[in-house]
Amino acid sequence: MARYGAILAYDGTAYQGFQRQPEPTPTIQAAVEGAIAVITGQTVGIVAAGRTDAGVHATGQVISFKAEWKHDKRELLFAINSQLPLDIALQRIWHQEGFHPRYDALWRQYAYRIATVGVRQPLLNRHVWQLLSCERLDIGSMQEVAAICLGEHDFAAFGTAPQQGSENTIRQIFLSQWEIQREEFGISYIYRIRGTAFLYHMVRRLVGAMVQVGKGKLTVEDFREILLSRDLERVKVLAPPNGLVLEAVKYPQHVVAETSEGGTSASVDEVPLEESV
């Protein structure tokens, strides 16, 4: 029985998060394990880089599983995809003994997307947080508070430890920045954050507070004080889940070395992430 690693993309709108729950609750894990079982004829449990929350998406969730398969890895990828719903699909698969998607990761990266629109855009609603363009955002202030998050901080004011029994809320952040894109419907604001790990709902609370700064309802100093307070009650806005995407996870060169194309991609930089945020 071989262990496989894989990159998984999904639209999380129709699912109650990644982690399997009692039937008939729809989850990403249940859908993927069911598809693998149909193809291999085996009961397979998958291990994921993390458990995304209900309504959160991924362009590169990382999973691993053990299965007996006598054919080419690429055939396994297409076979599994043939049994998955249209909003879930494997992007890449490789053979990797000893690989653990969560514990082997060096850092994880998320993106959160906001669209400012003149009128509500139904086709955007599944994947962005829509704000009316009359609610102007001060990107300079938002960029300033994003920079405050860089480095090692106690983020207890923005989230809780994802594992029971763990009280460690200190996290190290390597990237925290906003970018702007002009679109036909208006302006998109994209926030990217990269760190060793994240607390439960941490990214959504950070985005919610940063938008409050952008609207002038909080100052930069207010944000700094909230961070230092360690008080979860200070953050009043939780950004909706539909704007959040797991984008990438970084692994050491010696850990993820094989790709579905048969070549080597030692670091697999653009592979994606972990906890419910």
**What local confidence, expressed as pLDDT, does residue 165 receive?**
56
Beta-sheet pairing, 57-67 with 107-117? unpaired
**What local confidence, expressed as pLDDT, does residue 267 receive?**
36
Omega prior to 24 cis, within 30 of 0:
yes
Q: What is the pLDDT of residues 71-87, one digit of tens each?
A: 999 999 999 999 999 99
List Cβ neighbours of 138 (8 Å cut-off, separation of 6 or more).
Answer: 213, 214, 215, 216
For the chain, give every domain's residue range. Answer: 2-104, 107-245
Return the higher-pLDDT residue of 265 and 222.
222
Domains 2-104 and 107-245 share a fold: yes
For range 12-23, the mean pLDDT: 96
- Would you give the DSSP letter of residue 219? -
Give the pLDDT band (50/70/90) at residue 257: low
Number of neighbours of residue 174 by Cβ within 10 angstroms: 14
Residue 263 has pLDDT above 70, yes or no: no
CA atoms within 13 A on the CB side of 233: 0
**What local confidence, expressed as pLDDT, does residue 149 receive?**
98
Q: Would you call 215 helix, strand, or coil by DSSP?
A: coil
**What local confidence, expressed as pLDDT, does residue 164 receive?**
60
Can you give the C-alpha Rg of the chain in angstroms? 19
Q: For the purposes of burial, counting CB atoms within 10 Å of the CB of 152, is it exposed (0-12), middle (13-18) or buried (19 or more)?
A: exposed
Residue 132 has pLDDT above 60, yes or no: yes
Residue 262 has pLDDT above 80, yes or no: no
Architecture of the domain spanning 107-245:
2-Layer Sandwich (3.30)
**What local confidence, expressed as pLDDT, does residue 163 receive?**
67
For range 47-64, the mean pLDDT: 92
For range 147-158, the mean pLDDT: 98
Crossing angle (nearest 10°) for helices 73-83 and 28-40: 120
Crossing angle (nearest 10°) for helices 139-148 and 220-229: 30
Q: For the purposes of burial, counting CB atoms within 10 Å of the CB of 277, is it exposed (0-12), middle (13-18) or buried (19 or more)?
A: buried
Is 231 labeled as catalytic in the residue annotation?
A: no
Gap between the Cα atoms of 28 and 75, Å rounded: 21
What's the mean per-residue pLDDT of the chain? Answer: 90
The dihedral over CA atoms of 146, 148, 149, 151, expressed in degrees to the nearest 10, equals 130
Domain 2-104 adopts which CATH fold? Alpha-Beta Plaits (3.30.70)
**Which is the catalytic residue, given 11, 53, 87, 154?**
53
For range 125-145, the mean pLDDT: 94
Give the pLDDT band (50/70/90) at residue 29: very high
Q: What is the pLDDT of residues 81-107, one digit of tens each?
A: 999 999 999 999 999 899 999 999 899
The count of residues in the chain is: 277
Evaluate whether 276 touches 51 at the Cβ level (below 8 Å): yes
